[in-house]
């Protein structure tokens, strides 16, 4: 089984995890990035306005997403790009939370993506003062990148995983996770509040 997966990163308009305003994706085959995609997403108005803090972090403004597809409109494309791949994200709880919450808000079925967190992989691979994406990416040899650009973050994440697989001499994500005492988890639908 080769080192195949898709790295993903979301940016949000505000603290509401359903307010995705950008996504970046990097498809990896045999340990190398073979395809990338990125697009803006227009969050639903009921999710609240863009927060100044978020804009300062990622630079995405309401005007930039005014004509972007909504979560529902881009959902099929997102699913199609991921396919049957295991997803990898840096702090996967956040990115998987975006998918779960956005699907719940928009009454869409939550895809049962399998996923692995590259922060957890980094902690088992590198001795660092911080395992935030810039530090972990540098340790993996990725170099400088535009942090909080969704595609750049997805590419950095993919490099952390491929470098960790090389260091631990593992040829696939499941074996890497097992070697590190981690689990490839499965995304589950957000429970409905009654």
CA distance 160 to 172: 14
pLDDT in tens, 71-119: 999 999 999 999 999 999 999 999 999 999 999 999 999 999 999 999 9
- Contact yes or no for 177/185 (Cβ under 8 A): no
DSSP state letter for 13: S
Q: Burial of 7 by CB count in 10 Å (0-12 exposed, 13-18 middle, 19+ buried)?
A: buried
User: How far is 61 from 68, CA to CA, in rounded Å?
Assistant: 12
Is the pLDDT score of 133 beyond 90? yes
Confidence of residue 189 (pLDDT cuts 50, 70, 90): confident
Phi, psi of 110 (to 5 degrees): -75, 125
* φ/ψ of residue 55, rounded to 5: -60, -40
Residue 61 has pLDDT above 50, yes or no: yes
Q: What pTM, to 2 d.p., does this model score? A: 0.96
pLDDT at position 76, please? 97
Q: Which residues of 36-55 are buried (b: 16+ CB within 10 A; e: fewer)?
A: bbebbbbbbeebeebeeebb
Closest CA to 161 of 186, 188, 187, 179: 179
The share of the chain scoring above pLDDT 70, in percent, equals 97
pLDDT tens string 95-106: 999 999 999 999
Residue 194 has pLDDT above 50, yes or no: no
pLDDT tens digits, one per residue of 30-40:
999 999 999 99
Helix runs in 83-131, H state only: 92-105, 118-125
């Amino acid at each position: 089984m080769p080192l195949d997966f898709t790295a993903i990163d979301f940016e949000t308009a505000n603290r509401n995890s359903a307010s995705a305003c950008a996504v970046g994706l990097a498809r990896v085959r045999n340990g190398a990035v073979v395809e990338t995609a990125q697009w803006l997403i227009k969050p639903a108005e009921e999710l609240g306005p863009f927060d100044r803090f978020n804009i300062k972090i990622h630079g995405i403004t309401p005007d930039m997403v005014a004509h972007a597809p909504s979560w529902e409109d881009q959902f099929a494309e997102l699913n199609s790009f991921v396919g049957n791949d295991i997803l990898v994200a840096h702090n996967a709880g956040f990115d998987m939370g975006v998918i779960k919450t956005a699907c719940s808000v928009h009454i869409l079925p939550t895809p049962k993506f399998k996923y692995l967190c590259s922060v957890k992989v980094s902690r088992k691979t590198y001795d660092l003062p911080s395992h935030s994406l810039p530090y972990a990416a540098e340790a993996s040899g990725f170099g400088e990148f535009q942090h909080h650009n969704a595609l750049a973050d997805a590419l950095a994440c993919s490099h952390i995983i491929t470098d960790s697989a090389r260091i631990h001499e593992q040829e696939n994500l499941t074996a890497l996770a097992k070697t590190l005492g981690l689990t490839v988890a499965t995304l589950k639908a957000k429970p409905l509040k009654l």
